[in-house]
Structure formats: C-alpha cells, structure tokens
Structure 1
C-alpha cells in the first residue's frame, strides 16, 4: 500500500473529516482504520457523460496506469475530493462493497483519490474487501466541506437547505454539487420532481424561489394570524383566528362579486372549511413543536415559505449535479434563496419551524411519523453540533446585489 502525504512546503487542508481520517490512517499505516473509513463512506467513479447517458444505471470502470505501481489502477474519489462539475466528465456513486462485487479483473490496484495529496494505492483484493465492507464506520449526518463556503451570504444560502441536506447525509455547503452521482441525481429529479430536462429544472427552481409551490391556503391562514399579531400585539386565540380568516375570505368574495357582477367561481364554504381545518392542524403541530423543543411557549410559525426556499437551495445544487445547469446559475439561485428567507424570517429557529411545518403539512397528515421525527432529529443536530452552520453563520448579513450576478 502506498500513501502520499503533504509536504512541509505545501500544507494541505483536508476538505472533510473523511479525507482527514484516511490521511491519518494511511500516515500511521493503520489499514484496519483506513478500511473502516473507506467502507463507511461514498466513493465516486469518474466516467464520461456520453457513456453514462448511453448505458444508464451501470457502473463503468476506466482503469489507468500510474508510473509508481505496476498494473492497471482503478480510480475512485471520496466526496470531498471531487473536482468542480464539468460538462463532459461525471462521477457515479458507489461503495467499497460494490467495487468488491464488480471488480474488473485486469485492474491490479484501487487508486483512492489519485493525483491528490491523500492519494493511496490499495492492492486489489475483492474478497477481503467484502469482509471489510461489513465493518464500515458510520459517518456523522452533519457533513461540512471545510474548504467550502462557511461564512458570508453564500454560506447562508447553502445553510437554508441544511435541514434536507443533513437529513440526507449530504454535505450542507457543497456548492459544486455532484454528491449523489450523476445518474442518481437525474433519477431523483425525475422520480420526485418529474424533471428530466433543463427547462423543467429552471421552471421548478424559479417557482421555488418565488414561493409558488407551497399551498396558498397554508400561507393564507398564517398571514392572517401574523396580521393580527401586528395589530393587537399578541397571538390570537383559536376562535379569534378562525373568525378573522373567515372575515377575510368573505371580504375577498364580496370584492370579486362587486368587480365582476357575477357569483364567484370558487366554493366559498369549502374555502372557509379548509381554513378552519388548517388552523386546527397548525395549532396541533405547534403544540408538538413546543413539546419537542423546536420552539418556545410564546412562539408560533410565521410562514411556511421556508419549505420552498430550503428546497430551492437544494434544487439549485441538484440541477448542477445532473448537468442541467451551470455553477453560476446555482450560485445565483442559492443567494436568492438566502435573500428570500431573510426577508421573511428573523432567525434560524424561526426559519426551521416554517420549513418543518411546510414539510409536515405536505407529507405527514398529522401522523407525526418519519416526515416529522426526522426533522426533530435534524433540528437538534443543527442546534447543537459545533460544526452546524446555524451556530456559525449569522442570520443577518449585508444584502447582496443580485442584479450583478
């Protein structure tokens, strides 16, 4: 086994804890620890985009020759060592167990992060790797790119997607996104968003940034309550909130009739019933939020626009990984998500409860199942882990002139 470390003249900053652990284990010839880390993390195979599109869903190996070892080498990269996305070359995600199962016989070496300061060559031994793969050390769900954005407006925009990124075990601040692997990113966009092309991605991204994918009814009842808080200086009781929402709906209906001279095309009774139902749901979720420590006794959810802004922060990166967009487009979208969030919310906690309520109204149906409990777990990580952006990236920061980008 060979390990190339840093030189004294060229200090090297590991991009994530994985590369740091691999470097330390290799430097100390602790190969048991090295394989524990390697087996517990994602590995990425370089491949041509043309080949991946022609034969989707299959790992293709591209061995190369290195002057320091004899025989073909199969290159893989850890998450933090992936280069910025380019149009023609992509990376497919795999694990050590996948390599052991489908190892190409001509290859003599597994080259981990070749051409980098943490380059390591491992003799091909698929049988041993199968055993090693069972003992992978679990990674923290909160993953940080130490060499990425950790302060400033861009970090803020990336952190707007942290609830989802941490829940998915992805790096929260990886702007040059390709961490799911090219084919996986394409499939997830298709399956979850029906996005299969650039135009669809741009449309979804724009709607998320405008807050157009959340239900207008959700935001309506919350805005009624916020207006009452601003007017009366206190959170209204449930009866008063329901009555106010009903009055607004009646007033809007009257305006439509006066303007058109015709009965409304919508069902006013159904809209009132829905508003009453939603108010009840919001109150029950907020009671659970308080019981689980997500908000204080005197707090309430301001808005659910965070549900769209947070997904926009992630969608901008997913599109880059699927090669539907360019890095500059991703940067602009992330900054727009940050700006939109700061115009509505006052803190990370304020933002978080809006995101979680939106997610629960969309998926959970008051079951308080995984859609909710996952967020409680991630919320606690993001409010306690020393590496959390919510503890290091201030909510407020100088506005960015987005017209220049």
Structure 2
C-alpha cells in the first residue's frame, strides 16, 4: 500500500475546509503520512461512487473504473462531505471499506479517495492490503452491532447551519443521526440512490412522483400515523390547560370516554383509547427515567413523528429522483414550520417524535425502535455542535 507524497500547501488547499469530521481526520492523516490512521478514519465512514442512472436502474452494481491523469486505472470513492454536485445522468451508490475488501474487482485498480482535495490518498489494493482493511474495520467496529452504521452527528460546513432551512432540517435529525448521514444537506443523495428507491417502494408504496406527493401531503397533514394517539393527547392537553398542571390519569380516561360518548363512537373505540392511554403513561414513565422527559413532563402531541419524518421523506424523494429540489426544500421548510407551531422546544418536539415512533412500532419491547430514537436524542441534546444546541427553537420572522 502506498500513499501520495506529502502535499505542499497551495492557495487552493489553504482555502479548502474539511466539510465534516471525517474529511478532517483524513486530511490530518494525509499531512502526517499516516496510512493506518487514514484507514482507521475510513473504517466507519460511508464511501460513495458514481454510476450512470440507467445502469443502476437496470440492476447493475458494478463499480465504474476511471483512468486518472497519470494513466492509472482506479476506482474513485468519496466520503460524505466530498460528494459531487447533483448530475442528472449519474447517481450515487454507497459502499464501505469492509465491502470493498470483499468485492474489489482486481489488483490492477488502485483506490482513490477524495481525489482533487487535500484529503486525497491513493491506496494499493493487493490481497495483503485488503486483509489489512478487514482487520482495521474489525478493530474500529468491534463494539457495533452487526451491519450497523454508527449513530453519529454529521454536519457539513457547506450546508445550512442557521436560519429556517437549517431549523427544518434539524427537525429530521433523529433519522439522520440514527443512520449516520449528514443532517444539514438538501442535495443529490440522503444516503444511496438504490437504497432510497427500494425504501420508498417497499416501505412506503411509493414509486412515482404522484405517490411521493400523496405521502408527503399525508405526513404534513399528520395523517400518516394512527389518529387515536393524537385524539387522546389533545384531550389531555386541553385538561392540562384548564387545570394549569398535570392531569390525573383517571380524569384523562373519563374525559376521553365522555368525548367518545358525545361523538356516538362505538364501544370498541373507547376500549382502544383506554388501552392506548395505559401505553402512553408507561412510555412516559420510561421517558422520564431515560431523560427524554423532565421529571414532571408529559408529551403534548405525537404529530412530530409525521413532521420529522417528512423532512427525511423529502430528502429520500429527491435522492430517488421523484421530486425536484425546490419541491423537496419547500416540504422541508413546511415541516419545520409545523413543528414550531406544535411544540415549544427541541426537547418537547423530541419527546413527541419519540412517542409517535414507539406507539407505532415498539409494542413496549423497548428494543431497536426505542433505542434508535433515544440514542439520537441524547446525541442531539448533548453534543456542543448539535443544531439543537446552536439553533434556537423559536424563529419569529418565519412563524
């Protein structure tokens, strides 16, 4: 394995800024001629390469080799912060150092990471090199569950970090942090073109621009999630405002029954709501123990789960080429506005998002559906660079 010579500072490299912590670590390794450090930085990073859209749509997964300026055949990979601008005929495919070690097309190709930047390194790819890649990946990912990307906050210096768009993107940060992707980007890819297309088709029944718009409208209207949680939470919120404080569980239950009786709802509806109230109370107790709620806190609304997902759904749709950039950005901004109207703080919103998620999928198992919202909450409320600590919740000029 060889590396490029230690670079000399030029006007262009002095102007370059690492987009994320990943590029910063790679650049430091290049400057120190630390090839092992470079591989360690790559071990948990996503790597991206570009393929023709028609090739990917046709089921092709092969890497597309390139001939660099020195006549060396190579495969070009880029980290998240150094992906190229959106191009109509090309889409992004995600891989990893571990996957490359197992699927490398042949020794004749070298690996070029982030060419044209100060974070560039050229790596040889013989059997011993790839064995080293596997070892380093094992060491760096030993504490991660199998096939799990690290939960991490990734901020790109090139993306919005203040203002309404940054605020709205931060409303989708639960999923961004859980998936280890950039939170503050509206670009060509959220994650990977093929995965986005598959996710939208298989999990959302979305394969066309019309499908995408219908689902987005449902999310922004709070109609994607079941209606019963919001019904019960709305009644408790009204009781809390009338009683200026916490609401006794029995009073909440009786009030829901009374409203359903006035609506002439069937008896089964009351049974569903009563069971739901018990689940909400048990989840809120766990939320308080885990810091998702303050000791005397309760969730005012779960609609944030739809609004927060709308941010990611917009980015997925843009990646899958189901909507134009302007439509995706407008949807993201609308989701942020709705979040601000429904909640009073980042923590308030996060608890509502978490409750909506676990009521929909967790069934009180407190497994991955819960862990994948609790871990991002802790990251976003604690890390100094988190948008939840740098962007104010209230934005008077846009509300």
- Give the TM-score of the pair, scaled to structure 2: 0.91
1:213 aligns with 2:224: yes
- Give the direction of change, closer, same or farther, for the CA distance of 1:102–1:371 in structure 2 (3 Å limit): closer
Which residue matches 1:125?
A: 126
Counterpart position of 2:75: 74
Pick aligned residue for 2:352 from 351, 354, 361:
354
Structure 2 CA distance for aligned equivalents of residues 224 and 6 of structure 1: 64
Q: 1:369 to 1:100 in 2, by over 3 A?
A: closer
Equivalent-residue separation in structure 2 for 1:108 and 1:86 (angstroms): 25
Deviation at 1:185, TM superposition (A): 1.3
- In structure 2, the partner of 1:263 is none
Cα deviation 1:323-378 (Å, max 9, x = unaligned): 21222111111101100000110000100110111111001112222212332222
State the match for 2:286 in structure 1: 288
Residue 396 of structure 1 is matched in structure 2 by 394
Q: Provide runs of 4+ in structure 1 moved above 6 Å.
A: none
SS in 1 for 2:78: strand
Distance in 2, matches of 1:185 and 1:66, equals 30
Runs of 5+ unmatched residues, structure 1: 254-266
> How many Å apart are 1:77 and its aligned residue?
0.9
Q: Quick one: distance in 1 between partners of 2:211 and 2:128?
A: 44
Q: What's the CA shift string for 1:20-71, capped at 9, x where partnerless?
A: 1111111111111011112321111111001111124x2x22222222x342
Residue 29 of structure 1: which of 23, 33, 57 is its match? 33
**Per-residue deviation, 1:106:** 7.3
TM-score, normalization by structure 1: 0.90
**Within-5 A mapping of 1:3-402:** 7-8=10-11, 10-56=14-60, 58=61, 60-67=62-69, 69-105=70-106, 107-136=108-137, 137=140, 141-253=152-264, 268-400=266-398
Bigger mean CA offset, 239-248 vs 184-193: 184-193
The Cα of 1:180 is off from its aligned counterpart by 2.2
Q: Distance in 1 between matches of 2:273 and 2:331?
A: 32
Instruction: State the SS of the aligned residue for 1:74.
Output: strand
How many angstroms does 1:105 deviate by?
3.2
Structure 2 contact 220–306 (Cα < 8 Å) conserved:
yes
Larger Rg, first or second structure (1 or 2): 1
CA pair 94-114 structure 1, distance change in 2 beyond 3 A = same
Cα distance change on mapping 1:211 and 1:368 into 2, 3 Å: same
Preserved contact between residue 177 and residue 318 of structure 1 (Cα < 8 Å): no
CA distance in 2, matches of 1:400, 1:83: 31
Partners in 2 of 1:398 and 1:13 — Cα distance? 32
Cα distance in 1 for partners of 2:302, 2:387 equals 21
- C-alpha distance in 2 between matches for 1:107 and 1:209: 51
